[in-house]
Structure 1
Amino acid sequence: MSPSRITHYVDGADWSGATDRTSQVFNPATGEVTGALDLASADLVGEVVASAAKAWPEWADTSLARRSKVLFAFRELLDRNKKEVAALITAEHGKVLDDALGEVMRGLEVAEFACGIPHLLKGGYSENASTGVDVYSLRQPLGVVAVISPFNFPAMVPMWFIPIAIACGNAVVLKPSEKDPSAALAVARLWKEAGLPDGVMNVVNGDKEAVDALLTHPDIKSVSFVGSTPIAKYVYETGTAHGKRVQALGGAKNHMLVLPDADLDLAADAAVNAGFGSAGERCMAISALVAVEPVADDLVSRIVDRMGKLRTGDGTRGCDMGPLVTGPHRDKVTGYVAAGVEEGATLVVDGRDADFDGGDDGFFLAPTLFDQVTPEMSIYRDEIFGPVLSVVRVHSYEEGLRLINDNPYGNGTAIFTNDGGAARRFQHEVEVGMVGVNVPIPVPVSYFSFGGWKSSLFGDTHAHGIEGVHFFTRGKVVTSRWLDPSHGGLNLGFPQNT
């Protein structure tokens, strides 16, 4: 079967033009090329932005009541089509179907939050701030905004931003990952079905040329980005240098601190789930387990026992863990496994030697466990973004906390303990943006905001929640004085919002 064409979504329809450049989209479980993706030139990005800019004013002037109706309709359509979107994620990313469905549902939560936009955009009002003078505040949309999303959550991460941006009255240009674009395109088409005017939601596929065009285009008012730290820093510096508001969420090296009083069965389950879910391709994955002695030997034994029950293979076959997203990425992760051995870590479980339930050419690596890892090793220092869990042994809570706080990343962390005082102290003292207490992947719900500290975030604003509403709007304060007017006219009908 020849690869199908995957193209852009502009002005409410699939793009029909010709392209000079394409890239391959794979099924990671088989290694088969399933799609040929059109890559946008800078000129095409300019055309897409112009289309969005043309559609934006009318949408910005649309009443909150009508915007909310579109949001509610979109929410229902996404819920109705969630399994189909999940299947697209599994086909191009590789994560198992249950995990893909969970991703869609977490994105759906942000759409539900955005349905409350009339309340979220309410301003403040002070009557008689001075004699006869009233002062009130309001928030208005930015214009055309860009979202640049990563491969690891092709539906959820765009949904962190797009429903709120649209609800606030903006037009959106999404640049999804070229590795797995189809889920984002499917979701974009649902917006049209929900009643969103053409041109308000657009998808442009591409590589660095498209990214740079969005970062420098004068009509793009803001950029939301999620990806590795070096690229996040580049996006932030380039976007802000061109006058844009930027929120750039970067990489992570998430630690899980296990105290001696913790429930070790709970901790072992959490380490396996958070370390190997989605093949470790999560910015909130636990990749460093910090065990406070004397529990390390016992904890490692329990983790090994659980790892022996996992099946790695095709995400459509009921396996526990799927492949990595591409062959080169799989090779990069296996390179870290080799480096860990060379640097002196103890390789307890080697995922390179496993049997895989999938195609012979699939991009597989089974869960891998290292013990006796030290901070100088590359498997500890670097964000591997694969199913590699490193156990670091420390002798006290203070030593473990210092290890976490000394790390340049500050995205997510967790503590496992039955001591409420220790947990409260940890959540206060740890220098990380998202903290779990006996929760291994502390991703905030939609009405809170997602984002880390230190080199895990460039910009001042986190994703979704009220911070997301503020990011996609500008505040304005009005001071007014009026003569007392008289009003007339009769209308006995019940007033309605339109």
Structure 2
Amino acid sequence: MSNVNFTRIKNFINGEWVEEKGVEYVPLYNPSTGIEIGDVPLSSEETSLAAVDSAYAAYDGWRKFSVSKRMGYLFAMRQAMVDKEEELAVSIAVDQAKHISEARGEIRRVIEIFEAACSIPTLMQGEFLEGIAHNISGRVVKQSLGVFGGVAPFNFPALVFGWFVPYAIGVGNTFIYKPSTQSPLFMQKMGNIFNEIGLPPGVINIVHGNRSIPGTWYENPKMSGVCLVGSTPTAKKMAEACGRGGKRSMLLGGAKNFLVAMEDLNWDVFIENFKHSCYGSAGQRCLAGSIVAAVPEIYDELIARVLKASEEITIGDAMNPNIYMGPVISAKAKANIENYIEIGIDQGSKLLLDGRNPEVPEANRNGYFVGPTVFADVTPCRRIAKEEIFGPVVSIMKIRDLDDALQLIREQKFGNGACIFTQNQYYTEKFISEANVGMVGVNVGICAPHPYLPFGGIKDSHLGTDKVQGKDGIDFFTQNKVATIRVAPPEGVTEDGAKKAVDKSVRSCVAS
């Protein structure tokens, strides 16, 4: 992709592209080649506050639009994404280096999220209670809150946009979105779509930069809440700041996910899902399989099969349809993953497959590649079994039985996802009931819920009250307003009189 034009990333505020002067710009690289393809502004606090002002000014008019009119904009945005699906996918494959097939899948999933969000008129319907007392009823209505801000990670620039923005604006809020400086190209495409469909200025704003951008949100009275997908340390700091500022928060953190292999698994199903879970997106996703826990009956065979499958993974440019796995996001990420490989060796785990310095095409020699890496005989106390590596590194662990696996999952500080591979209904139901995570998979390697259902973990994988998408998304972006209503008959008409009049009308109707 060395022929990609150099792109200066801009902010999108009040419906206009803004190039900020006098601030630092950081390089934007194509991870497949290591070539600089653009630069990204570390925007000033003044620019962030300008985005807040824009969203705040747009809010009152936007929330007063009929729900059907807001849905019209969601439909239009969804259709524009369908029309530009390949262009959007390529933008992700270039700067995030997700393999083009997976980038297409990410765009399709966001389109599905928009389709689910278009059910907002049903999902945000309120409640009514008649007869609380004499002539008194109660009503609950869901209303928008105001301006929300969202911080996205590098690994899913489109998906996280889908988790936050359609639900936020669909119920009547306005939004400020801060993409990762490592993968901003997708949102540059989306800003153009906002204008193409005639989205009112200020409803969605895009600001690039570092942590100083959300730093302007926590104490700002014009802001109502903050969303994040990122690391657990970042999520905890943001939770504290949101608490001090009285802001709602929906913060998704790190993960360390188990694939539990029981003695009755279907090998073909397991191996195919293992590859997708552990090596898809180069292991850079919050639901990637990291620990494979196998019972003794199949432990040796599992190692042999996993090793064979891992050795067959092809590595190269994310735009090459003939390879399976692209690079990791940056030279820093590559160095961090390789450091964990050294830690695994030093702590006594058995390195069966070393992904450092994999063979790649000449054009990709300067890219940030780590190949499939497999450790065996890993014990729970070792760092590669406890800490999030965020790369294609697999730790194989021997467990005694299902109860042993469940205990290991309970002891993990993270609680994002866990999957079991079995044909046994008892194992299945016990795992669903007792696995101490927010998302469970059975014979699947990525236990990501469909957009109609909430997505999110527990423990250190999720801070805040609500998860993303589905009814949780509606609840987070709305507040319940309760009305208590007393009615009385018009002046000069007693309740008995009114009742008699109705009775007489009914009798005459029946008599006729």
Alignment match, 1:292: 295
Conserved 8 A contact 1:269-1:303? no
Please point out which of 332, 336, 360 is paired with 2:340: 336
Alignment match, 2:429: 424
Shift of 1:127: 3.1
2: CA distance, partners of 1:398 / 1:257 = 11
Q: Which amino acid aligns with 2:366?
A: D
Shift of 1:17: 3.7
Conserved 8 A contact 1:290-1:400? yes
Q: In 2 relative to 1, CA 420–476 (structure 1 residues): closer, same or farther, beyond 3 Å? A: same
Shift of 1:353: 4.0
Alignment match, 2:456: 451
Conserved 8 A contact 1:71-1:167? yes
> 5+ residue gaps in structure 1?
487-498
Q: Which amino acid aligns with 1:340?
A: G
1: CA distance, partners of 2:174 / 2:110 = 19
Please point out which of 232, 238, 249 is paired with 2:252: 249
2: CA distance, partners of 1:143 / 1:136 = 22
Aligned length in residues: 486
Secondary structure in 1 aligned to 2:448?
A: coil
Please point out which of 262, 270, 291 is paired with 2:273: 270
Q: Which amino acid aligns with 1:282?
A: R
Q: Which amino acid aligns with 2:317?
A: D
2: CA distance, partners of 1:173 / 1:259 = 46
Alignment match, 1:356: 360
Alignment match, 2:481: 476
Q: Which amino acid aligns with 1:334?
A: E
Match status 1:55 vs 2:58 = yes
Match status 1:219 vs 2:256 = no
Match status 1:463 vs 2:468 = yes
Q: Which amino acid aligns with 2:352?
A: V
What whole-Å deviation, never above 9, does each CA across 1:103-129 have from its counterpart, x for those lacking one? 111112211111112111211122343
Q: What value does the CA root-mean-square deviation take over the aligned residues?
A: 1.5
Alignment match, 1:188: 191
1: CA distance, partners of 2:376 / 2:272 = 17
Q: Which amino acid aligns with 2:218?
A: L
Conserved 8 A contact 2:13-2:50? no
2: CA distance, partners of 1:429 / 1:128 = 42
* Greater mean alpha carbon deviation, residues 339-348 or residues 277-286: 339-348
Secondary structure in 2 aligned to 1:351?
A: coil
Please point out which of 91, 94, 97 is paired with 1:91: 94
What whole-Å deviation, never above 9, does each CA across 1:285-324 have from its counterpart, x for those lacking one? 0000001112111111111222222210101112100000
Please point out which of 397, 401, 406 is paired with 1:401: 406
Alignment match, 2:308: 305
Shift of 1:483: 4.4
1: CA distance, partners of 2:419 / 2:20 = 49
What whole-Å deviation, never above 9, does each CA across 1:374-401 have from its counterpart, x for those lacking one? 1122111110000101101112211111
Q: What percent of counterpart residues are identical?
A: 35
2: CA distance, partners of 1:352 / 1:289 = 21
What whole-Å deviation, never above 9, does each CA across 1:238-257 have from its counterpart, x for those lacking one? 11211100011100000011
Alignment match, 1:109: 112
1: CA distance, partners of 2:306 / 2:433 = 29
Conserved 8 A contact 2:358-2:369? no
Match status 1:381 vs 2:386 = yes
Q: In 2 relative to 1, CA 330–477 (structure 1 residues): closer, same or farther, beyond 3 Å? A: same
Secondary structure in 2 aligned to 1:57?
A: helix
2: CA distance, partners of 1:284 / 1:341 = 25
Match status 1:369 vs 2:379 = no
Match status 1:78 vs 2:81 = yes
> 5+ residue gaps in structure 2?
492-512
Shift of 1:453: 0.8
What whole-Å deviation, never above 9, does each CA across 1:207-264 have from its counterpart, x for those lacking one? 0211212333221111110111111111111112111000111000000111111112
Secondary structure in 2 aligned to 1:352?
A: coil
2: CA distance, partners of 1:214 / 1:464 = 22
2: CA distance, partners of 1:125 / 1:211 = 38
Conserved 8 A contact 1:255-1:286? yes
Conserved 8 A contact 1:268-1:299? no
**Bigger radius of gyration among the two:** 2
Q: Which amino acid aligns with 2:15?
A: G
Conserved 8 A contact 1:19-1:38? no
Conserved 8 A contact 1:265-1:302? no
What whole-Å deviation, never above 9, does each CA across 1:457-494 have from its counterpart, x for those lacking one? 111111111011010010011111244579xxxxxxxx
Alignment match, 1:28: 31
2: CA distance, partners of 1:255 / 1:194 = 43
Alignment of 1:435-446 (within 5 A): 435-446=440-451
Shift of 1:194: 2.5
2: CA distance, partners of 1:123 / 1:265 = 47
Alignment match, 1:203: 206
Alignment match, 1:321: 325
2: CA distance, partners of 1:26 / 1:62 = 41
2: CA distance, partners of 1:430 / 1:19 = 51
2: CA distance, partners of 1:136 / 1:325 = 50
What whole-Å deviation, never above 9, does each CA across 1:59-100 have from its counterpart, x for those lacking one? 011111111111111111111112111100110011110101
Q: Which amino acid aligns with 1:399?
A: D
1: CA distance, partners of 2:29 / 2:12 = 20
Q: In 2 relative to 1, CA 374–132 (structure 1 residues): closer, same or farther, beyond 3 Å? A: same
What whole-Å deviation, never above 9, does each CA across 1:428-465 have from its counterpart, x for those lacking one? 11111000011111111111101101111111111111
Conserved 8 A contact 2:29-2:37? yes
